[in-house]
Amino acid sequence: MSDEIRYDPPKNKPLGTNGWFRFGAAVLRPILNLIVKKDWAGAEKIPQKWRCDCYL
């Protein structure tokens, strides 16, 4: 008997997505965005060497 754990490879495209993932992305994520407040306060406390500029 082998103690090796084996997993089936992902099958969907993109790899690894399934029905529950798509449900969460389509339904739960927008609901949570309405409920949860995004608070970006405290960015000034990040050390300069860890900062990065993000542009959209």
32 located within any domain = yes
pTM above 0.85?
Answer: no
pLDDT digits (tens, 9 = 90+) for 18-40: 788 888 889 988 898 888 877 77
Q: Is residue 43 one of the residues assigned to a domain?
A: no
In-domain check, residue 1:
no
In a domain, 19, yes or no: yes
CA distance readout (Å), 29 to 2, 16, 21, 22, 34:
40, 18, 10, 10, 9
Asked if residue 26 is part of any domain, the answer here is yes
What is the count of structural domains for the chain? 1
Asked if the structure places residue 22 within a domain, the reply is yes
Task: State which H helix or E strand residue 50 sits in.
Answer: none
- pLDDT given at position 23: 86
The predicted-structure confidence for 6-20, as pLDDT tens digits, reads as follows: 888 777 677 667 788
Residue 7: inside a domain, yes or no?
A: no
Structural domain of residue 17, as residue ranges?
12-37
